[in-house]
Amino acid sequence: MLYQNIVLVTIVSTLSLSGAVPTESLTWNLIKVWLPGNIIFVGMLITSMFSLKYINVAMLTILKNVANVLTASGETYFFKKQHGTQVWVALMLMIISAVAGGIRP
């Protein structure tokens, strides 16, 4: 992952210096805005890796897909957001494929 980050920073820096891609200058206010989201994301990755000590990859995949369905259901219930039929079909296909893949270890 370190290699990927180094390559990404190199590419973005090169494009920024050449003027091909505009980037915002790094300030403390910008860092304060983005830091909580990055910490939560890194925490999610770390807890996901630690969970592999206790459950197998198939079960972890199923749980992550169920979490997406619960999130969409929560948006519908709490925020009255309506999702299209295609969203629900895609979520159900995710669950079916994860369960089908998890049947055989």
The overall pTM is greater than 0.75? no
Alpha-carbon span 94 to 53, nearest angstrom:
24
Residue 95 has pLDDT above 90, yes or no: no
Domain extents for the chain? 1-54, 56-105
pLDDT score of 6:
95
pLDDT band of 105, cuts 50, 70, 90? low
Query: Residue 14: what pLDDT?
Result: 96
Encoded tokens for 48: 């996901």
CA distance 82 to 73: 10
- pLDDT for 66: 87
CB-based contact 8:19 (threshold 8 Å): no
Q: How far apart are CA 17 and CA 19, in angstroms?
A: 5
pLDDT tens for 1-56 read 789 999 999 999 999 999 999 998 889 999 999 999 999 999 999 998 999 999 98
Tell me phi and psi for residue 89, to 5 degrees. Answer: -65, -45
